[in-house]
Amino acid sequence: MPLAYIILSITGLFVLFGFAHRVLDRMKMTDTWALIIIMGMIVGTFLPDIPLGKKISINIGGAVIPAAVAVYLFIRAERGVERINAIVSSILAGTAVYLAGKLLPSEPEAMFIEPNYVYGIISGLIAYLFGKSRRCAFIAGVMGVILSDLAEGITNIILARPGTISVGGAGAFDTVVISMIVAVFFSEILGETREKIQGGTSKKGTEPHLTSSLLSEDDIEAIREKYRKKDSDDSDEK
């Protein structure tokens, strides 16, 4: 069984039992939609690719559905700067994956780990580092891999290389899934750590804007909401 199926199945269980509710809520998604997306990605890999030309096609489960989710999150972004971060981090992640494909050995026997796994980890880490929010990290993690595949396909067409590229298909499906999970995982874990640090400083009278440079957009909004609720409770007591 491909690693992507295992990861998606485990993620589906986390969603089903409510362990991913906090992450999904911050990404403006419901548990039900998350399960539908996971099932759609798995089933979509068994459907025929959509041809985009003679040498390039796109996989429904590995590219169409994840890209649709990324577009949805992009539209739901509340600030223009978040959209810019999503675009920039996607380009950076795509560039990193494309270059890794050129510089690293393509044969699994030449590396201690499957190359597609490495590409996914690289894309996910770049997406986390430059995304600055959970939504941006997911968008960049997905689009980075898709953009890299598209660039490879276009290059093959221009240089008249043999072979075809399936965007999000075959091993690229593993790359897409690993990338988006790594990006969101690091954003959530380290985001939570920053929130706890921020909570500790607020007890000493430090206002959130003084340490906001350490936080993502989602983290800042959560802290603001906490302060608004606190002020409301104080007013009710008076």
Q: How far apart are CA 151 and CA 147, in angstroms?
A: 6
In a domain, 91, yes or no: yes
Is pTM beyond 0.85? Reply is no
Number of domains in the chain: 1
Indicate if the pLDDT at residue 32 is higher than 50.
Answer: yes
- Whether 146 maps to a domain, the answer reads yes
User: What 3-state class would DSSP assign to 211?
Assistant: coil
Tokens 């989710």 sit at which residue? 69
Residue among 171, 131, 172 at smallest CA distance from 150 = 172
Residue 132, SS3 per DSSP? coil
Is residue 14, in this structure, part of any structural domain at all? yes
- According to the model, what pLDDT value does residue 78 have? 77
Please indicate, yes or no, if residue 234 is contained in any of the structural domains: no
Residue 73 pLDDT > 70? yes
- Residue-number span of the structural domain to which 19 is assigned: 3-195
User: Among 47-51, 170-174, 226-230, which stretch is predicted with the lowest mean pLDDT?
Assistant: 226-230
Is 210 part of any domain?
A: no
- Give a yes or no: residue 231 inside a domain: no
Tokens linked to 84: 């810019």
Lowest mean pLDDT among 49-58, 68-77, 190-199: 190-199
Whether 184 maps to a domain, the answer reads yes
Residue 42's pLDDT is 94
Does residue 90 surpass a pLDDT of 80? yes
Residue position matching structure tokens 């921020």: 198
Going by C-alpha positions, the residue among 62, 56, 57, 24 that lies closest to residue 43 is: 62
Look up residue 87 and give its two tokens: 């675009």
Banded pLDDT at 186 (limits 50, 70, 90): confident
* Type of residue found at 32: T
Structural domain includes residue 226: no
Cα gap 48→72, rounded to integer Å = 24
